[in-house]
Structure 1
Amino acid sequence: MRFGLVVNPVAGLGGRAGLKGSDGAAVQARARALGARPRASERAALALAELRARLRRVPPVLTAAGPMGADAAEAAGAAFEVRYEPGDPTAPADTRAAARALAPLVDLLLFAGGDGTARDVLDAVGASVPVLGVPTGVKMHSAVFGVSPRAAGEAAAAMASGGVPLRDAEVMDLDEESVRQGRVSARLYGHLRVPDVPVRIQQRKTGSSAPSPGSVEGIAAELAARVPPSDLLVLGPGSTTRAVAAALGADVPVMGVNALRGGTAVATDLPAEPLAALARSGPAWVAVTPIGGQGFLLGRGNQQISPETLRAAGRDRLLVVATEAKLAALGGRPLLVDTGDDELDRELAGHVRVITGRSRTAVYPVR
C-alpha cells in the first residue's frame, strides 16, 4: 500500500495565539509576533512514526518537498520520495497542487492541517482517493481527522492491514473573520472518503443550541461554590461556558479563552503565554466544556489553554462542565484530549466528574 503526505506548514499557527484560525498572511505574521511557532510538521511526523511502528514494511512515502512533507517524513525516519516542489512561502494553491500530483499515485493520502486544508484537498481530489487528516489546525470541525496524530497513524496502519471499510465524511469550515467578530456558523463543503475506524477518527462538530437557563445557573452555582472568589477561573470557549460566565455576572466572548475572578472578567480572549503567566501567578482553575458531537475537551479551538497552563493549575483544578443533553448527544463516546503533550494526555486520561448542575455530576471516560 502506498501512502502520500501533504503538510500545510502554517496550519494551527494562530491557535495558541488566540487568533481563532491561521488563514491569511497577516494573521500568520501576527501569530509569529505573538510567539507562535509552526507545529504541523512535527505532528505529521508523529502520525508517520505511529504508522511505521505498526507496519512491518512501509514503502517510501510520496510527498512534497521541505515543510510540506519531506521534513516530517525525515523526522519520522520514513523513506520518502518528493513528487512536488512548493513555492516559498507556501500557499493554499500548493496544497491543492501537491494533492493533485500525489492522488493518482497513492492508496491513501494523508494531509496535515485543519478545516481549511481539508477544503483544499476536497477541491483538488474530491472522492478520487481515500484521505485521512492529521489534526494540526485550530478548529477541525470536519469528520476527516484522526482524534490525534498518533490515532491518524494507527488508522492508516489499520487500513493497510486490510478489512477497513471507507465512509463518506463531512468537510466543514467556519469563516474565520466572522468568528473573530463573534458570529459562529459552520458550512458543509462536501465529503471526502476516509477509513472507517471507530474511536480513532473524530466525528464532525454538531451545532449547539442555547443551553437551558436552569442547567446553566446550576453549573454556575457549582463553580462558584468550588472556586474561591480570590482564585482565577479560566473559562474555555463555547456557548455553555459563555452562558456560565453570564450567570456568574461576566460578559465574555463566545470563542475566546477568558479569565474571571470573583465573577468579574479580569482578561478576555487570552493567548497562550499571557494565560500561562496568569495561571502561574496564583491559584488557578480551568473550566472547559466538550465540543458538541466530537467530545473534545482540549486541543480543538482552545489551544490557548496550553500544557503550561494546565500544569500550573493542576489536574485537581481542571473542571469539566456540560449540560446533560450535551453528554447524551455523545452517544457514549468518550471525552477526548489532544494537548500536543503525550505525557499530559496520558495523565488526563481515565475518568472525570462532569459538572451538570448544582451538586450534580456525571462520571465520564476521557481518552
Structure 2
Amino acid sequence: SGTMGEDYFTQLDHAKLMYKVVYSAPSETTAQHTQEAVNILSSFSPDLLLFAGGDGTARDVCASINNEQVCLGIPSGVKMHSGVFAITPQAVVSIIKSMLARKLVAVTEAEVRDIDERSFQEGRVVTKHFGELLVPDDQLLVQCVKCSGLPDDQLSLDDIAAFVSETLEDDVLYLFGSGGSLRHIKEFVGIDEPTLLGVDAWYNGECIAKDANEPVLIDLLGNYPKAKLFLSVIGGQGVVLGRGNQQLSVRVLRMLGITNIQFVGTQEKLHALEGKALQVDSGDDALNQEISGYRPILCGYHDYVLYDIAYSA
C-alpha cells in the first residue's frame, strides 16, 4: 500500500493496469515491512518477482523467499554491489518482453552483497555476502556448438547427469521419472538397468525401488520426509506431466510438494517447441494452476532456463 507500490499504480490507472494491494504498510517502513510484503508476494508464486531498490532491499528479499523464486532488481538504490540487478530499468523491460515472447531466458544464481558496516565506519568499503537469488540472465541462450563429433543433445544430457549426480544430498529421497533423458541420468547416478517408462527411487546411494506404482510412491513419501522428483520434457510434444506418468497421481504430487519438482530438458528440445508452452495435465485443475507459470528447466551443468508451463483445458 501507499508509497510501497499502490500510489504509483493509482497514477497509472489511465493505462488500465490491473493491480491488487496485498499488504498494508505504515507510512514509514522498515526492513521488517519489506520482508513481510515480499513473503506475501512470493506466496502467489509469481513468474518473476521484481523489486526496486539497492543492496538493502536485495537483502530483505533474499531473507524472505525460497530459493526457487526467480527475482530481479530494478536498479534504484544508493548501494548496488549485488549481482541481482539489471543494468538499467530498460533491461528489465527487455527481459520481460523476452519471457512474454517465450524466448529462452537463462536463469542463474547471483550474489546478494552489502557493505560491511564495521569496515565502512573505519573508512573502508568492504562488501559482505548475504546469500543468493535466482535471477534471469541478460543473455538469451543460443544453440549449443557441436564438438567431439557427438550430438548436442547427448552432450547436454551428459552435463545434466553430471550436475545431478554431484548435487545429490544425503537423506533425501530422489524420484526419477520416465523417459530417455531421465534413464540417462539414472544410469549416471548408479542405478543398474533403470526402467525407461517407470519411476525409480534412489536414497543415500542406493536404488530402493524400480518402476514404482502409485501405492509404492505414497508409501515411500510417507516414510521419507525429504523428497525430490525429476521430470523430463517429452520431445516433440512438450508435455512434462500427464502423459506416460499416471503413477504420479494428484495425491502423490500433493505429498511431494510442487516446490520439490525439478523439470529437465535440453536446450534442443526446448528450441524445437518454437515458443510453445510446455503442457501439464495432472488431473486436478487447482494443481495444474499451481504448476503453471514460468519454471526453471535444468538444461545443462548448473544451467537453467525459464520456460512457460501451461494447462490447456
- TM-score for both structures, normalised by structure 2: 0.48
- TM-score for both structures, normalised by structure 1: 0.41
Larger Rg over CA atoms = 2
